[in-house]
Amino acid sequence: MIKKVARVKDLNDKKLLLDDLNFWLSKSPKERVEAVKYLRRQFHGSSERLQRVARVTHYVKHLKDQ
């Protein structure tokens, strides 16, 4: 069984900020972009789902305009 672990950290801690900065600066631009894409997919879901939402909002707007 995998235990869930949560750590509380001070977001104003200069050492933590520098550690994070150094970590991301050690990654290539491609790795950084891939990390952002991964986080975006986690937050927004798949692009297929977003396209479906866009179709629904377009359809509702179309109905209101009639």
Number of domains in the chain: 1
pTM: 0.53
Task: Kindly state whether residue 53 falls inside one of the protein's structural domains.
Answer: yes
pLDDT of residue 62: 62
Domain span at residue 51? Answer: 14-65
Task: Kindly state whether residue 28 falls inside one of the protein's structural domains.
Answer: yes
Residue 27, classed as helix, strand or coil, is coil
Q: Average pLDDT for consecutive 10-residue bins of the chain (66 residues)?
A: 88 92 96 93 72 66 66
Task: Kindly state whether residue 1 falls inside one of the protein's structural domains.
Answer: no
Q: What share of the chain is helix, strand, coil (3-state, %, to 5)?
A: 70, 0, 30
Task: Kindly state whether residue 3 falls inside one of the protein's structural domains.
Answer: no
Measure the CA–CA gap between 19 and 10, rounded to whole angstroms: 13
